[in-house]
Structure 1
Amino acid sequence: MKFEHLIEVNDLADPLLTPLTREELWFGLLCRAEDARAFLPGLEACRIVERGAGSLVRDLHFGHAVIRDRVNFDTLRWIRFETEANAQHAGGSLTITIEEPEPGALFLRFAYHTSLPDQGEDARYAEFVRSAYHQSDLDTVRIIRMIAASGGLEQ
């Protein structure tokens, strides 16, 4: 299954919405990479097992299930989570790209690639998964806003 959608982060027409900077948005995405517990319900622990230039390898602990993924990123532009297939997880990837079609108008593009079929008998299940991914991505933006509001980027 391939699934992609766009979430508006800054609605420039809404004066009640505090706009985020690209740096605040990026910092929130890095928080998701470093410790995803606030972003993934049911995640009990997120352990970094390897760190390199522009990448991390993590073990995600969901009860007895441990899922390993690799996080690659291009600072202030995109971040990609590539999950290894194992007995508990079929594997797949999520790429989150920051888009800014005009100054201050920030969007996040979420692009998923999974081994889940989206045709035939599995089509209804795939639609459920798409809906869950979309809600999770809305929650990601909400959590990033909370991090920014709490001064998470202040030095």
Structure 2
Amino acid sequence: MFTLSKSIWVNPSPEQETVLTRDHIWEGLIMKAEDATPFVEVMDKCRVLERGDRYLRREIEINGTKTQERVTFFPKHMVVFEPLESDGLIRNDIEEDAHGHLSIRFTFALEVPKDEYLSAQNYAQRMEKNYTAAVETTLATIRTFVKEGKL
């Protein structure tokens, strides 16, 4: 299993055209949990199978492979994605420093597939690249939704 944690500033420039708030980020993460396809380029399909109090269970498809996840909500602070067929988790934390600057921290703790043809180190490097792109795409998609009035 490998773990990666990366924090990215939500509003890196004060001159930014669209400034995101905690509420924007939270609503965007809820939208991502319900349908991640606009947020994660490699995801082909995403559908909710079950809803409960502060959680949902969904089926996702990436490169033709289907899997299920439980998504747990910690309102306005964190969303946790847990694969149901393997060990690991993905956390999306909304953080704020002492000056009120928001960041989003994505933490991934995932097992290396047994049939992975790469070494664990190469697998981790590839996944870090993919997940960093997913973090950036998530923020860009949320920003677009705010500009378009969807959030």
User: Which TM class, normalised by the smaller chain length?
Assistant: 0.7 to 0.9
Distance 2:27 2:110 in 1: 26
TM-score (normalised: structure 1): 0.84
SS at the partner of 2:61? Answer: strand
Aligned to 2:8: 7
Segments of 5+ residues of structure 2 without an aligned counterpart are none
Which residue does the alignment assign to 1:18? Answer: 18
Distance in 2 between residues matched to 1:51 and 1:39, nearest whole Å: 21
Distance 2:119 2:133 in 1: 23
**1:125 alignment partner in structure 2:** 123
Cα pair 2:76 2:94 within 8 Å, conserved = yes
Q: Is the 8 A contact 2:40 2:137 kept in 1?
A: no
Measured at CA, do residues 127 and 63 of structure 1 come closer, stay the same or move farther in structure 2, by a change above 3 Å? closer
CA distance in 2, matches of 1:15, 1:80: 32
Runs of 4+ aligned structure 1 residues displaced above 2 Å come to 40-45, 61-65
Taking the TM superposition and a 5 Å limit, the aligned residue runs for 1:1-155 are: 1-11=2-12, 13-62=13-62, 64-85=64-85, 90-102=86-98, 104-116=100-112, 121-153=119-151
Counterpart of 1:128, as a letter, is R
Q: Alpha-carbon deviation of 1:103?
A: 5.4
Q: CA RMSD in A?
A: 2.1
Q: Deviations over 1:32-80 (max 9, x none)?
A: 0111111222433322111011000001134642110000011111001
What is the distance in 2 between the residues matched to 1:28 and 1:101? 20
* TM-score in terms of structure 2 length: 0.86
Give 1:122 shift: 2.2
Structure (1 or 2) with the greater strand fraction: 2
Uncovered stretches (5+) of structure 1, i.e. residues with no partner: none
Distance 1:77 1:60 in 2: 23
The sequence identity of aligned pairs, in percent, is 30
